[in-house]
Amino acid sequence: MPNAISSERAQPWWKGAVIYQIYPRSYQDTNGDGVGDLKGIMQRLDHVASLGVDGVWISPFFTSPMRDFGYDVADYCDVDPAFGTLEDFDALLSRAHALGLKIVIDQVYAHSSDAHAWFAESREDRTNTRADWYVWSDPKPDGTPPNNWQAVFGGPSWTWDARRQQYYMHNFLPSQPQLNLHNPDVQQALIDVMRFWLDRGVDGFRLDALNFSLFDPGLRDNPPKIPAPRNVSRPFDLQEHVYDQSHPDLPGFLQRLRMLMDQYGEIFSVAEVPGPSPLEEMRAYTAGQLHLNSAYSFDFLYAKRLGVEAIVASQSNWLGAPGEGWPSWAFSNHDAPRCVSRWLEGADPVVRAKLTTALLFCLRGNPILYQGEELGLPQAEIAFEDLQDPEAIANWPRTLGRDGARTPMPWASADTYCGFSDAKPWLPLGQGHADLAVDLQEADPQSMLQFTRTLARVRASSPALQYGEIEFIDLSGDLLVFRRLWEGETIECVFNIGGTEVVAAITDVSSDQVLMCVGSDSPNKTRVPPYSCRISRH
């Protein structure tokens, strides 16, 4: 059930909330086509509620040709038939609210699909009412694209359109043309989209790749990275992305979105901000009370190892200075390899899963738990002939892509497709995932699933863990000791993320109440076993 606010000072529902991400194609299929759907999510909401999370973020389910599996939207205000109908969404929303769960949906405002009616009109000629709703530019005199910008998925950010005799811009696939948010009419159209979903009763929005939404209208060339990186899989990585994203006018658009959301009460807004140095943008997008509530970066999503210094550096950027936004954190998602396959290689897989999730729940900010993390699912290996991800197919084998994190959720170990579907799924089941299925873990009191539920209860009972300050106590090697503090409550979190026992420079207080531990049952609290954690209340 959702977190109870036990503090004397009321907090908005989203502050400190645990958000559970669902990738709908891979959660539960109910119509036998091998693709998950909205009815499937509704069918499994009791499982979600049992985890003790506060809200559910549902990845795109809007009308789409699925070139990028829903992140190429052809109609922002309808449901793709593969996922169901608007009535199915309304039923899901109603059921979620009955269970005390909030619903957060994805919004993709940087680009649409080339199948969107807006783009069909825009490309007809240069004088129609939506002629400048997308980013069009004449070629250089030699016929080449207007500038040197490169797309994330490979190749130039420009595609020639014979009807307009111009190039159009796309930061991702050519089938994802860039919306021109410098145009106030485009901004208003997107505000109207947000209003449509608010009127249906959604509780929040996750804004996809937000820093890609606005660009330099002068279309200046990006400078090269110096020194140039070696062995890149895409030309995009050879540039400093100074002009093709992160334009300073973007916070002004976010203010317009926030004004709308505030009319509907406590609506949660969180931005995804990819890139190597996103901190400045994250601060601008969440500053004060006029912008978004929260943002998360890729600090952890692609990190090859879990290091104490990196954890501290990331947390230290969000210590609660006046006017600072509220952070969110994800260790895994639909785009990134699952963290249990990247981190703590020397530890037992179940211990890995428990340690990483415990850390995620103890950090200051909102934990975003990706479907399957509550089971400790590892990253799946997908053969080339089974790949669906356009980035992976284009860059094989240099980029293994996103499919390995998107495989179907295993519900029933003995079923042919683990209870996900009666038909062959759109992606194969992950290796060993049947052994981690929900039904098996339900019956095991020591399972990762039961651990996740207990961890959520511990967090829900502690205002300090939900929204308290963070204070670092001991940082040496693989030892991480910090405290969460809120109105007289102190929670001490001790993590050893290495394979060697360490001694912590902390007071061994026998009266401490141990709330949760992994691999640490010694009465000597200063000695911290390898790959262990202890969460206790002072």
Active-site annotation holder among 37, 72, 203, 208: 208
Active site residue 125: no
Of 76, 147, 67, 98, the residue nearest 391 (C-alpha): 67
Of 415, 450, 431, 347, the residue nearest 51 (C-alpha): 450
What are the residues whose beta carbons fall under 8 Å from the beta carbon of 243, sequence distance 6 or more? 147, 149, 215, 216, 218, 219, 220, 221, 222
| Separation of alpha carbons 182 and 200, rounded Å | 28
**How does DSSP classify residue 150?**
B
Active-site annotation holder among 37, 244, 272, 281: 272
What are the residues whose beta carbons fall under 8 Å from the beta carbon of 87, sequence distance 6 or more? none
CA distances in angstroms from 28 to 249, 412, 421, listed in the order given: 40, 12, 7
**Dihedral (C-alpha) 194, 200, 201, 206: value to the nearest 10 degrees?**
-30
Q: How many CB atoms lie within 10 A of CB 217?
A: 12
Q: Are strands 204-207 and 102-107 parallel, antiparallel or unpaired?
A: parallel
| Separation of alpha carbons 448 and 498, rounded Å | 20
Active site residue 272: yes
**How does DSSP classify residue 373?**
G
**How does DSSP classify residue 451?**
H
Q: Are strands 489-496 and 479-486 parallel, antiparallel or unpaired?
A: antiparallel
Amino acid in position 232: V
| 3 state SS of 32 | coil
What DSSP string runs through 154-199?
SSBSEEEETTTTEEEE-SS-TTSPBB-TTSHHHHHHHHHHHHHHHH
The pair of structure tokens assigned to 407 is 């495989």
| Separation of alpha carbons 380 and 130, rounded Å | 43
Q: Are strands 166-169 and 136-137 parallel, antiparallel or unpaired?
A: antiparallel
Active-site positions read 208, 272
